[in-house]
């Protein structure tokens, strides 16, 4: 497999798929530019080698061409961060893009307009009437798949080589994230530095496990994490089930959970997962006490209470001190740690304590040599809120992509580069 480090980009034009899907405020100022910064090492390496970059990204979920989602708004900021004046092409495959890409000199950069202005990027038909017949819907799908080939070919024709640095979209088999790779031979396609780091981090928790391996699965719903939990049960030594989803398990065990969040239709599943854990010898760690509230609010009345004895009208919004102590012991003795999902409603300062404590324990374990991966939406927000990001081994930039990788799925964006 080709690598970005080995590849000499001198005189080459590289199509680099990045994830510049950054949040913009009402004046189109970027409110968080981390995603752009994350791609800089890759872009800078290509330029330093004497190559030129053609940058492709999506922004938002446009249903067609709209100024709101134009990447034009970010060109200046990308130029400032890259230290190179970035040109812009108003249409990612049009004549302007072709001319500007062809004229690129070594060290120059071109940003293409939002790839998702074309339905072909995602390969999903647009504008199909809701009352269209199944036949019509099928035909629309067929047509977009056909034109997707032409779209992908045109994108590929802009460059000599392809670099995928967009882990956040690696779970999508889109034109620019996966299909385009077919137009480059194995020596001319590679991961960017960010993508490489993400893939290595996932492999460390999925394949190269130092034991004990502890996964901490939190958040609100079991239903959104079933496949991950099932896959993890075949790999981990300890599985900490925490956050709102705990209560489905506590109820399954016969406990009283008051008004705590619970998925009644997943109680049987919770029982099955507990049985599987037992069968596989996994230490399933479920909270024993909770910080309960009389309403879903930061200024609610609170009490500490055993998890299975929550009074009617009260709900568990965070774990309690006994649980923190148990988690602490397990986490600090671990050598591989995966954290996805908070222990409570960490957005409320009165219910952030458990998530903070878990973050602290992970940092401590990491200092003692554990590999820790934090990823998937809210746990990233947690470590950032508590200023702990630099104390863990890796904070993933991928939400859905990371979760699918942990579920054990092969990601199209990765598969396309590796060529298997
Ligand atoms: P998820 O998107 O499933 O990872 O869930 C994250 C969300 O779960 C966060 O917004 C938390 O506020 C919420 N959450 C965590 N614990 C609880 C709880 N005990 N009750 C209600 N919501 C919770």
Cβ(320) to ligand 1 under 6 A?
no
Q: Which residue is closest in CA terms to ligand 1's atom 17? A: 244
* Ligand 1 geometric centre to CA of 76 (Å): 37
Q: What ligand 1 atom has the least distance to the C-alpha of 317?
A: 19
Choose among 47, 38, 45, 46: nearest CA to 18: 38
Q: What ligand 1 atom has the least distance to the C-alpha of 225?
A: 3
Q: Within the chain, what is the greatest distance between any pair of CA atoms?
A: 71
Choose among 210, 214, 213, 311: nearest CA to 260: 311
CB of 189 closer than 8 Å to CB of 161 = yes
DSSP 319-354: E-HHHHHHHHHHHHT-SEEEEES-SS-TTSGGG-HH
Query: What pLDDT, in 10s, does the model give residues 14-25?
Result: 999 999 999 999
51 is known as an active-site residue: no
Q: Which residue is closest in CA terms to ligand 1's atom 21? A: 244
Q: Is 216 helix (H, G, I), strand (E, B) or coil?
A: strand
Q: Which residue is closest in CA terms to ligand 1's atom 5? A: 219
Which structural domains are found in the chain, ordered by start?
A: 13-199 (3.40.50.1260), 209-406 (3.40.50.1260)
Q: Tell me which of 50, 60, 107, 377 is the catalytic residue.
A: 377
Cβ(156) to ligand 1 under 6 A?
no
Pinpoint the alpha helices (H) of 49-133.
75-82, 95-102, 119-122
* Ligand 1 geometric centre to CA of 260 (Å): 11
Residue 127 — very low, low, confident or very high, per pLDDT cuts 50/70/90? Answer: confident
Choose among 268, 269, 244, 272: nearest CA to 257: 244
Residue-level length of the chain: 420
- Pairing between strand 315-319 and 13-17? unpaired
369 is known as an active-site residue: no
Cβ(261) to ligand 1 under 6 A?
yes
* Ligand 1 geometric centre to CA of 275 (Å): 25
Q: Which residue is closest in CA terms to ligand 1's atom 10? A: 345
Q: How far apart are CA 214 and CA 142, in angstroms?
A: 45
Q: How far apart are CA 12 and CA 159, in angstroms?
A: 8
Give me the pLDDT at residue 419, please.
78
CB of 106 closer than 8 Å to CB of 52 = yes
244 is known as an active-site residue: no
Cβ(412) to ligand 1 under 6 A?
no
CB of 404 closer than 8 Å to CB of 171 = yes
Q: Tell me which of 12, 13, 17, 35 is the catalytic residue.
A: 35
Going by the DSSP 8-state scheme, the letter that residue 73 receives in this structure is G
- Does the pLDDT value for residue 377 go beyond 80? no
Q: How far apart are CA 235 and CA 259, in angstroms?
A: 33
Residue 130 — very low, low, confident or very high, per pLDDT cuts 50/70/90? Answer: confident
CB of 121 closer than 8 Å to CB of 58 = yes
Query: What pLDDT, in 10s, does the model give residues 247-263?
Result: 999 999 999 999 999 99
Pocket test for ligand 1, best of 219, 315, 339, 356 (most atoms within 8 A of CB): 219
pTM of the predicted protein model? 0.89
Q: How far is CA 334 from CA 215, 324, 328, in A?
A: 10, 15, 10
Cβ(341) to ligand 1 under 6 A?
yes
Tokens representing 69 are 């989602």
Cβ(230) to ligand 1 under 6 A?
no
Give me the pLDDT at residue 378, please.
86
Give me the pLDDT at residue 103, please.
98
Cβ(153) to ligand 1 under 6 A?
no
Query: What pLDDT, in 10s, does the model give residues 340-372?
Result: 999 999 999 999 999 999 999 999 999 999 999
Residue 227 — very low, low, confident or very high, per pLDDT cuts 50/70/90? Answer: confident
Q: What ligand 1 atom has the least distance to the C-alpha of 219?
A: 5
Q: How far apart are CA 244 and CA 418, in angstroms?
A: 38
Tokens representing 105 are 């000199």
- Does the pLDDT value for residue 284 go beyond 80? yes
Give me the pLDDT at residue 273, please.
96
Q: Tell me which of 149, 221, 332, 335 is the catalytic residue.
A: 221
Q: Is 17 helix (H, G, I), strand (E, B) or coil?
A: strand
400 is known as an active-site residue: yes
For every residue of 158-211, which 3-state class applies, written as one string?
A: CCCEEEECCHHHCCCCCCCCCHHHHHCCHHHEEECHHHHHHHHHHHHHHCCCCC
Q: How far apart are CA 5 and CA 25, in angstroms?
A: 36
Residue 420 — very low, low, confident or very high, per pLDDT cuts 50/70/90? Answer: low
């Amino acid at each position: 497999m080709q690598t970005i480090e080995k590849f000499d980009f001198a005189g080459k034009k590289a199509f680099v798929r990045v994830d510049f899907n950054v949040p913009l405020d009402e004046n189109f100022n970027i409110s968080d530019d981390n995603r752009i910064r994350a791609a800089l090492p890759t872009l800078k390496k290509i330029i330093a080698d004497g190559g030129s970059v053609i940058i492709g990204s999506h922004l938002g979920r446009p249903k067609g061409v709209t100024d709101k989602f134009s990447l034009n708004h970010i060109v200046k900021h990308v130029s400032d961060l890259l230290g190179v004046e970035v040109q812009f092409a108003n249409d990612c495959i049009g004549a302007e893009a072709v001319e500007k890409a062809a004229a690129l000199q070594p060290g120059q950069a071109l940003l293409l307009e939002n790839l998702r202005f074309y339905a072909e990027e995602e390969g999903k038909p647009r504008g199909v009437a809701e009352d269209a017949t199944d036949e019509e819907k099928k035909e629309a799908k067929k047509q977009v798949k056909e034109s997707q080939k032409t779209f992908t070919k045109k994108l590929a024709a802009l460059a000599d080589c392809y670099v995928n640095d967009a882990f956040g979209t690696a779970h999508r088999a889109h034109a620019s994230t996966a299909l385009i790779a077919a137009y480059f031979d194995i020596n001319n396609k590679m991961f960017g530095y960010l993508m490489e780091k993400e893939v290595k981090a996932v492999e460390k928790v999925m394949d190269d496990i130092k034991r004990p391996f502890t996964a901490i699965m939190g958040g609100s719903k079991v239903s959104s994490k079933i496949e991950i939990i099932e896959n993890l049960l075949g790999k981990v030594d300890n599985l900490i089930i925490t956050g709102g989803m705990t209560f489905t398990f506590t109820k399954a065990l016969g406990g009283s959970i008051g008004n705590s969040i619970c998925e009644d239709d997943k109680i049987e599943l919770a029982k099955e997962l507990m049985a599987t854990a037992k069968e596989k010898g996994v230490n399933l760690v479920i909270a024993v006490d909770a910080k309960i509230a009389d309403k879903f609010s930061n200024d609610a009345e609170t009490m500490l209470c055993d998890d299975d004895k929550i009074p009617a009208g009260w709900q568990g919004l965070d774990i309690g001190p006994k649980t923190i102590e148990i988690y602490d012991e397990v986490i600090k003795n671990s050598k591989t740690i995966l954290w996805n999902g908070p222990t409570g409603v960490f957005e409320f300062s009165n219910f952030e304590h458990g998530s903070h404590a878990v973050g602290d324990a992970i940092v401590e374990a990491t200092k003692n040599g554990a590999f820790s991966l934090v990823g998937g939406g809210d746990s990233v927000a947690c470590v950032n809120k508590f200023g702990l990001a630099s104390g863990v081994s890796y904070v993933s930039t991928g939400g859905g992509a990371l979760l699918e990788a942990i579920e054990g799925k092969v990601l199209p964006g990765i598969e396309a580069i590796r060529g298997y």
